[in-house]
């Protein structure tokens, strides 16, 4: 039987070039309960391809987004460093674009209101757009008006008709998570006032490859974005990128600033050309650049397993920290179960008492580390490494050490 032909979600070209094949994996947010341990679990192929025409790195869509996102376990406010990052963003935007009581800020995938709350506090009117009803409810309770829906061209037009157009449309870590990127970007254009500004933050593909961040590939994360590919996608919908910033978040992200092509009020800044040239110089517009990544990933797996096997042979006790989406890719791809990790911990009570998808490692409250006195704590959300090392530094009391798996195994004494 031949495989069905795969098509690029942006330009519809045939997808024939493999970026990395991570085998079969369950959905990363489907933490399972004790009863579900006895049941059949669904696994889907986790195989990223790169488009030879537009160089969008992407996963196929196996599951309808409403199945993934309508009851989402990720509450943005559980990460303090992330909430602080968003506070700085809100202050910068108010200053740079002179936002005030006359303005309107909308956020797509506004989650529990972690970002918009900063604008509310400054007296700037806001509207959140969030598909997961359970997290939207939390936002409304904290005073962030939120409409429960997915953004697309039609819903964007309807929201603008009901609430007015937006002076700012913000979106953090959502562009990569939408299966229909064309409909989504068209939806943002529909929301945007004639002189409005779109900002989007997303992990930078350049940093994913450089930093070996293969564990940021999971089913809920459909696209892996370079600046030049995003520029192409926005241009196809009448939007121009006029500025770009690099950010340390999520292992290295970029924040783009976009406007209507017809709005000449915002000149295209020099950082746009600089970023474009850098990606060209790095080879991101040629297929060859993408071909070595699979072997880079396999070598990382061998290195991590070698470390864990040796530690277990020496009788060491190892636990995890965190149960993020990226942890589930790492654990499933490497085959790390409770044979290596006694348990993992997570500050999110929604995950505590459950088990990691596929690998069935118990998820406990962070206090469990103090009781267990492990030799090693494997940090799964390595992008929050500094925050975690500071919070859990007490493992030095019994000589415990941290292990960071990405870009390659590194042992850190607290």
Binding residues for Zn ion, rule: CB under 5 A, are: 8, 10-11, 13, 51, 53-54, 56
Q: Which is nearer to Zn ion, 221 or 354 (CB)?
A: 221
- Tell me which DSSP letter residue 287 carries: G
Q: Which is nearer to Zn ion, 54 or 197 (CB)?
A: 54
Report the nearest approach of Zn ion to the CB of residue 109 (Å).
Answer: 23
Q: Give the separation between CA 8 and CA 54, rounded to whole angstroms.
A: 9
Q: Burial level of 102, CB count in 10 A (0-12/13-18/19+)?
A: exposed
Q: Which is nearer to Zn ion, 31 or 221 (CB)?
A: 221
CB 364 within 8 A of CB 343: yes
Report the nearest approach of Zn ion to the CB of residue 7 (Å).
Answer: 8
Give the pairing type, strands 17-25 and 105-108: unpaired
Indicate the SS3 state at residue 199.
strand
Count other Cβ atoms within 10 Å, centred on residue 263.
16
Q: Which is nearer to Zn ion, 53 or 195 (CB)?
A: 53
Q: Give the separation between CA 331 and CA 326, rounded to whole angstroms.
A: 9
Q: Which is nearer to Zn ion, 11 or 148 (CB)?
A: 11
Report the nearest approach of Zn ion to the CB of residue 230 (Å).
Answer: 12
- Tell me which DSSP letter residue 393 carries: G
Q: Which is nearer to Zn ion, 11 or 235 (CB)?
A: 11
Count other Cβ atoms within 10 Å, centred on residue 148.
17
Indicate the SS3 state at residue 260.
strand
Report the nearest approach of Zn ion to the CB of residue 51 (Å).
Answer: 3
Q: Give the separation between CA 405 and CA 215, rounded to whole angstroms.
A: 10
Report the nearest approach of Zn ion to the CB of residue 13 (Å).
Answer: 5
Report the nearest approach of Zn ion to the CB of residue 226 (Å).
Answer: 12
Report the nearest approach of Zn ion to the CB of residue 9 (Å).
Answer: 8
Indicate the SS3 state at residue 252.
coil
CB 318 within 8 A of CB 340: yes
Q: Which is nearer to Zn ion, 144 or 176 (CB)?
A: 176
Q: Give the separation between CA 313 and CA 87, rounded to whole angstroms.
A: 46
């Amino acid at each position: 039987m031949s495989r069905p032909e795969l098509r690029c979600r942006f330009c519809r070209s045939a997808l024939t070039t493999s970026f990395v094949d991570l085998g079969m994996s369950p959905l990363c947010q489907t933490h399972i309960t004790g009863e579900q341990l006895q049941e059949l679990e669904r696994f889907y192929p986790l195989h990223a391809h790169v488009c030879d025409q537009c160089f969008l790195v992407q996963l196929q869509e196996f599951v309808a987004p409403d199945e993934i996102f309508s009851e989402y376990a990720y509450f943005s406010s559980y990460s303090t460093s992330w909430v602080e990052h968003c506070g700085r963003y809100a202050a910068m935007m108010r200053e740079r674009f002179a936002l005030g009581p006359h303005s309107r800020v909308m956020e797509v995938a506004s989650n529990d209101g972690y970002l918009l709350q900063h604008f509310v506090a400054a007296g700037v009117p806001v509207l959140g757009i969030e598909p997961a009803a359970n997290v939207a409810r939390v936002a409304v309770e904290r005073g962030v008006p939120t409409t429960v829906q997915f953004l697309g061209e039609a819903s964007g037009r309807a929201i603008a008709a009901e609430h007015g157009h937006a002076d700012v449309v913000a979106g953090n870590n959502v562009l990569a998570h939408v299966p229909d990127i064309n409909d989504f970007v068209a939806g943002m254009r529909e929301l945007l006032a004639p002189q409005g500004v779109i900002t989007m933050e997303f992990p930078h593909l350049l940093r994913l490859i450089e930093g070996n961040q293969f564990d940021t590939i999971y089913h809920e994360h459909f696209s892996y974005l370079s600046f030049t590919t995003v520029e192409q996608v926005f241009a196809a919908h009448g939007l121009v990128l006029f500025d770009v910033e690099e950010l340390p978040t999520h292992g290295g992200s970029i924040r783009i600033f976009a406007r209507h092509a017809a709005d000449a009020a915002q000149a295209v800044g020099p950082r746009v050309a600089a970023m474009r040239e850098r990606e060209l110089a790095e080879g991101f517009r040629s297929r060859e650049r993408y071909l070595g990544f699979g072997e880079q990933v396999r070598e990382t797996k061998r290195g991590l397993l070698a470390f864990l096997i040796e530690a277990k042979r020496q009788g060491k006790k190892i636990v995890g920290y965190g149960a993020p989406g990226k942890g589930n890719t790492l654990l499933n791809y490497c085959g790390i179960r409770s044979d290596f990790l006694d348990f993992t911990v997570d500050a999110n009570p929604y995950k505590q008492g459950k088990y990691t998808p596929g690998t069935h490692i118990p998820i406990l409250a962070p206090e469990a580390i103090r009781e267990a006195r492990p030799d090693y704590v494997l940090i799964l959300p390595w992008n929050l490494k500094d925050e975690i090392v500071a919070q859990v530094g007490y493992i030095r009391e019994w000589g415990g050490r941290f292990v960071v798996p990405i870009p390659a195994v590194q042992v850190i004494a607290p």
